[in-house]
Amino acid sequence: MSESPNVLPTYSGEAEPYWQGLREGEVRLQYCKSCETYQFYPRPICAGCWSDDIEWRAVEASGTVYSFSVPGFAPHPSFKARMPYVVALVDLDVGVRIMGNIVDCDPDTVTIGMRVDPVISEIEEGHSLLNFKPQQGAQA
Amino acid sequence: MASQHSSQGIAIAGVAESDLGSVPGKTIFQLQMEAAKAAIEDAGLEKSDIDGVLTAAPFNSMHMPSMALSEYLGIQPSYSDSTITGGSSFETHVGHAMAAIQAGLCTTCLITYGSTQKSDRSRNPQGTYGNPEPPWQFEAPYGPPLPLAAYAMAARRHMYEFGTTSEQLAEIAVATRKWAALNPKAYTRDPLSIDDVMNSPIVTDPLHRYDCCLVTDGGGAVIVTSLERARDLKKRPVVVLGFADTHSHMGISQMPDLVRTAAGITGPKAFGMAGVKPSDIDVTQIYDSFTITVMLCLEDLGFCAKGEAGAFVSGQRTAPGGEFALNTSGGGLSYCHPGMFGIFLIIEAVRQLRGECGDRQIPSANLALAHGVGGVLSSHATLILGGE
């Protein structure tokens, strides 16, 4: 892993079902049955009510761009070739906010409030990330 | 006993900087010793009077900061505090010093900070790319240059919700530079115009280069003791009238609302403790890591309504001679910014209340606010200080 030229996720035990879901093409989030909310990032219990009555659920993962930035420099060499790229915070419809890149579009067309759909991007074999792309017609 | 102590007044009795700017060849310990010695002299105290040591270290530089520093300074304290909440650590240290003195744990506290960030060129965002802590592990793979991208996203959201413009953000950078021109210790004193800011490179969209703080070396120190004791010392005491701190998140993806910060909690609490209101403040020091940081805190501390900071700072209202005296040292934007700026907010507020600020002195300043911000708009700490 230290040999990779890319910035890979730092894997930790409680989040493994999230990363495994992405590797299998599915977005899985933790749902607290006690307070009836999803949470991100994963934890052993619900960070809101501290209930341990939580389960993993596959979700649609569409959402709305809350804010974004286009970095003027690459914070790590692996991002240089991708410039310009969009770093965004996306509010998923299921009620969690998550960071992702907005891909498959011209960065100049991204706006706050834009509807986006999930894209699961494999950065290298065995390592997948949740990203987003504008919904059909969202750029109109 | 507790009730007797809790009514005890607390004061800042000494302040000082070390060498600032570009200080190659000095260590962070050296800078802090310089500042500590100067602050103790400023107070008219001796090293042997110090029985509390509070410090926060720059990133990854010291594992047990207050212990390492105390050894270096030759002090064995009865109160030791290494609280690190980023740039607001030092306002928080004043609050902790107040509590420790009031509880009888110690009598006289030394707060220090030092960084050789410029000489080390240690502000390398790649350094954070190995951090395994959440939420960073869910952010790093997306390539946000932090903390820049976090503040950039807050700025864009402010523009979206309230119509704030890049020109309005630039007003802060320009006004702050005018204050720096009046401060002989400021690192950048050349004139700066709104056009200069607007034409400077985009560092992280929508923030321009001059929306961002400096990277310098430097250190500072502050002495906190009882008001009773401070009255017998060299300088006029500056009384700690109000204090509050909190933090709402660690990573930007976990911040509940990017345009409503926890200054909205610490401001009212600190004002309440001091029994004053924003319009009573004569001189204001707000952590200017970025121009947007200042805008958000002006609103959340109650100096103007939410969404109105753009209008509030327009027309150079915060420049020398303007209606609102803000960041009179030249701030992190133009005076110095050695990684964390919080201690310098306190130093300038104290000097203004003592009337020591020369060309940039606010006439008869009697109430000051110093507000620190740390992380990515994460930690907030508000101090209300008053002359006696």
CATH code of the domain containing B226: 3.40.47.10
Picking from B1, B10, B7, B5, the residue whose alpha carbon sits closest to that of residue B228 is: B10
Cβ of A10 and B203 within 8 Å? no
In this structure, are residues B43 and B35 in contact, taking their beta carbons and an 8 Å threshold?
no
Picking from B96, B149, B326, the residue whose alpha carbon sits closest to that of residue A67 is: B149
Give the whole-number percent of chain A exceeding pLDDT 70: 96
Burial class of residue B176 in the structure, from the number of CB atoms within 10 Å of its CB (0-12 exposed, 13-18 middle, 19+ buried) = buried
Domain for residue B39, yes or no? yes
In the block, which residue shows the tokens 């109430």? B367
Query: CA B262: distance to chain centroid?
Result: 15
- B335 catalytic per annotation: yes
Residue A1, pLDDT > 50, answer no
What type of residue sits at position B152?
A: A
Summary count for chain B: helices (H), strands (E): 13, 11
d(C-alpha B239, C-alpha B342), whole Å: 18
Peptide bond before A44: cis, by omega within 30 degrees of 0? no
In the block, which residue shows the tokens 């770093």? A87
Average of per-residue pLDDT across A32-58: 97
For chain B, how many structural domains are there in total?
1
Alpha helices in B239-318 (DSSP H): 263-274, 291-300, 309-313
Query: What are the residue boundaries of the structural domains of chain A, listed by start?
Result: 9-59, 60-134
Q: Does A41 touch chain B (CB under 8 A)?
A: yes
Structural domain span for residue B25:
2-121+216-230
Tokens of B107: 């009598």
Cβ of A73 and B145 within 8 Å? yes
Average of per-residue pLDDT across A40-68: 97
d(C-alpha B41, C-alpha B186), whole Å: 22
Domain for residue B184, yes or no? no
Stretch 69-128 of chain A: residues touching chain B, C-beta under 8 Å: 69-76, 78-79, 82, 85, 87, 89, 97-101, 112-113, 123
Peptide bond before B135: cis, by omega within 30 degrees of 0? yes
ipTM metric: 0.95
Tokens of B35: 């500042």
Tokens of B108: 């006289």
Query: Looking at chain A, which residue has its C-alpha nearest residue B161?
Result: A112
Query: Residues of B309-340 as b/e, b for ≥16 C-beta within 10 angstroms?
Result: bbebbeebebbeeeebbbbbbbbbbbbbbbbb
Q: What is the CATH architecture of A60-134? A: Beta Barrel (2.40)
Summary count for chain A: helices (H), strands (E): 1, 8
Band (pLDDT 50/70/90 cuts) for residue A10 is confident
d(C-alpha B15, C-alpha B13), whole Å: 7
Q: Does A10 touch chain B (CB under 8 A)?
A: yes
Peptide bond before A84: cis, by omega within 30 degrees of 0? yes
Q: pLDDT averaged over chain A?
A: 94
Q: Which of A1, A4, A10, A22 would best serve as a mutation to test chain B binding (most B beta carbons within 10 A)?
A: A10
Helix, coil or strand: residue B56? coil
Burial class of residue B308 in the structure, from the number of CB atoms within 10 Å of its CB (0-12 exposed, 13-18 middle, 19+ buried) = middle
Residue pLDDT, tens place only, A87-122 = 999 999 999 999 999 999 999 999 999 999 999 999
Residue A136, pLDDT > 90, answer no
Domain for residue B166, yes or no? no
pLDDT of residue B61: 77
- Out of B138, B143, B201, whose CB is closest to A75? B143
Q: Does A68 touch chain B (CB under 8 A)?
A: yes
H or E element: which one contains A102? strand A97-102
Domain for residue B102, yes or no? yes
Minimum distance, in Å, between the CA of residue B191 and any CA atom of chain A: 25
Query: Looking at chain B, which residue has its C-alpha nearest residue A90?
Result: B253
Tokens of B56: 């926060």
Burial class of residue B383 in the structure, from the number of CB atoms within 10 Å of its CB (0-12 exposed, 13-18 middle, 19+ buried) = buried
pLDDT in tens, chain B (388 residues): 344 444 689 999 999 999 999 999 899 999 999 999 999 999 999 999 999 999 998 777 788 999 999 999 999 999 999 999 999 999 999 999 999 999 999 999 999 999 998 988 754 544 456 667 788 889 999 999 999 999 999 999 999 999 999 999 999 999 999 999 999 999 999 999 999 999 999 999 999 999 999 999 999 999 999 999 999 999 999 999 999 999 999 999 999 999 999 999 999 999 999 999 999 999 999 999 999 999 999 999 999 999 999 999 999 999 999 999 999 999 999 999 999 999 999 999 999 999 999 999 999 999 999 999 999 999 999 999 999 8
In the block, which residue shows the tokens 């899985």? A28
